[in-house]
Amino acid sequence: MTYRITANTAAYMTCAPKIKDLAPGENKYKPKKFGQKPLKENWFKVAARFLKGDSGSTTIADISGWSGNALVFNQKAFDVCAEHLEQLGEFLAIDAEGIPYYLFNTLYHVPDSMVDASKSELAESEGIALGAKKLAFVEERIDRTNPMLFKTHYDFGAGTFCTEKFKTLIEEHQLTGLLFGTDLAPLYD
């Protein structure tokens, strides 16, 4: 089964960059670039902070959200997941209040042939595609290749998806912070 991963911002804090601390011209942080291309070559250790969760939570999860399009791993989550994910993206060092964290930039996009076109639909406005209104994958193809984390060009890389294998890894190690949704295109309901 395929899931859409989101950070549980109701129960946990969210990680965000301290952009104001960066000197002009040094900022390589561009949220729309996550999942689009490798950033490691020009990356520098970004200072970050944790913001209260949507319900006012001050608990930091093992895996947090970053800019809605990337994941932040604490040391425990990194130690569990790094070897499984290193071929699917890149870990970028960040520093939050003097503690090292790892931002994961998911770079693997499944081929378009893995999107089930008969069950997927784009949201449009005046003939311009805005994103996925409905999204489904050909589960047999996903199961065969079994990428733990991935993106798709169909939704312009907006979502991060996973297989049962990744969900099980997170649950077995009791890592906190993620929600696994079966609605793969919740933005245009």
Q: Got the DSSP string for 13-29?
A: -EEEE-GGGSPTTT---
Confidence of residue 180 (pLDDT cuts 50, 70, 90): very high
Range of the domain at 45: 2-23+31-109+145-188
Q: In whole numbers, what is the pLDDT of the chain averaged over residues?
A: 88
Q: 124 in a domain, yes or no?
A: no
Average pLDDT over residues 160-173: 96
Asked whether residue 52 is assigned to any structural domain, the reply reads yes
Asked if residue 123 belongs to a domain, the reply is no
- Strand, helix or coil at 168? helix
Tell me which residue of 166, 184, 162 sits closest to 175, measured CA to CA.
166
Residue 37 lies inside a defined structural domain of this protein: yes
**Is 177 within the bounds of a domain?**
yes
Does 88 or 37 have the greater pLDDT score? 88
Q: Which two tokens stand for residue 74?
A: 């604490």
Q: What is the DSSP letter of 55?
A: T
CB of 94 closer than 8 Å to CB of 43: no
Region 92-107: mean pLDDT is 93
Separation of alpha carbons 26 and 11, rounded Å:
33
**Strands of 2-7's sheet in order across:** 149-150, 160-163, 2-7, 178-181
Token pair, residue 99, equals 């503690």
Residue 151 lies in a domain: yes
Q: Count the residues in the chain.
A: 189
What is the number of structural domains in the chain? Answer: 1
Flag whether 79 is in a domain: yes
Q: Considering only residues 164 and 129, tell me which one the structure prediction assigns the higher pLDDT.
A: 164
